[in-house]
């Protein structure tokens, strides 16, 4: 399948989990691929994808909290592939935080890690990429948020009692997604966010162990899988230049893994 032949896609946090699943799907559909992660194993992932699919894959160790590293990587990708078309801002971290029990040192360290990775990382990835997408005549940005800000029908927003900083970092992505979508609509760049429920990854396995949650085979098998999220990403991309933009798309357990109907575009109170 070569639906994306000639396109160039960039995925952050691609050494495992959802990021790796996105990278594999993009390569399988023919896109030139650039992936990065803080883990050195991103090179192993790149080698396997290249061997399995035959596409050109570029991989680098990049800390998405560092503006110099992010802008350099994105610029090199654009130059190497003579363009950039698809950006998946996936890199993210989680750790438990408690407003009652945490020390001052942990309070500050948690904020710096979670906000700088989950929010600043998405911000830097987008800001580094957007000028190249504009120059290329259009593009597609997908930010990775959480079902905490877009829960299934009948449930309140928000995560657990030890997720204040994580949730704050993910809520911020909503502001970037919606503002960028409005600003970039005239440049044929669509910007959306996926808000996933439990999806099998190192992050959810770590969180489940921290909260002593059931991690039986039955529970893990019920989690969504990265390739399912990647399939949905491709469907969203295939809506084309006139497709939806500025949406938080909820993807939940015990619900069909599918794109919802396009939402009505309401008038904005701000230019």
Any idea what DSSP says for residue 262?
P
One DSSP character per residue, 195-229 reads EESSB-SHHHHHHHHHTT----HHHHHHSB-HHHH
Cβ-count burial 168-207 (b if 16+ within 10 Å, e if not): ebbbbbbebbbebbeebeeebbbbbbbbbbbbbbebbeeb
The answer to whether 204 touches 223, Cβ cutoff 8 Å, is yes
| Measured CA angle at 37 (ends 35, 41), to 5 deg | 95
Any idea what DSSP says for residue 186?
G
* 166 counts as catalytic: yes
Pick the catalytic residue from 73, 94, 166, 223: 166
Q: What are the respective helix, strand and coil percentages of the chain, to the nearest 5?
A: 45, 15, 40
Known catalytic residues are: 166
């Amino acid at each position: 399948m070569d639906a994306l032949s000639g396109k160039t896609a960039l995925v952050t946090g691609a050494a495992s989990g959802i990021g790796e699943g996105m990278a594999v799907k993009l390569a399988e559909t023919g896109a030139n691929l650039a992936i990065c992660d803080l883990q050195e194993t991103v090179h192993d992932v790149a080698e396997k994808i290249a061997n399995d699919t035959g596409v050109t894959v570029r991989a680098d160790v990049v800390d998405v909290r560092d503006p110099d590293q992010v802008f350099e990587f994105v610029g090199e990708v654009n130059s190497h592939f003579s363009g950039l078309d698809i950006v998946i801002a996936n890199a993210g971290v989680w750790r438990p935080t408690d407003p009652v029990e945490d020390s001052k040192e942990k309070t500050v360290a948690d904020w710096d890690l979670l906000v700088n990775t989950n929010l600043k990382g998405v911000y830097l990835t987008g800001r580094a990429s957007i000028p190249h997408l504009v120059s290329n005549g259009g593009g597609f940005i997908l930010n990775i948020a959480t079902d905490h800000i877009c829960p299934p029908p009948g449930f309140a927003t928000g995560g657990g009692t030890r997720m204040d900083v994580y949730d704050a970092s993910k809520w911020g992505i909503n502001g970037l997604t919606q503002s960028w979508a409005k600003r970039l609509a005239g440049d044929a760049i669509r910007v959306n966010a996926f808000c996933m429920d439990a999806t099998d990854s190192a992050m959810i396995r770590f969180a489940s162990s921290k909260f002593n949650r059931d991690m039986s085979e039955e529970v893990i098998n019920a989690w969504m899988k990265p390739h399912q999220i990647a399939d949905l990403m491709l469907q969203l991309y295939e809506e084309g230049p006139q497709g939806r933009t500025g949406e938080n798309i909820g993807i939940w357990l015990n619900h069909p893994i599918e794109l919802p109907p396009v939402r009505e575009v309401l008038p904005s109170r701000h230019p």
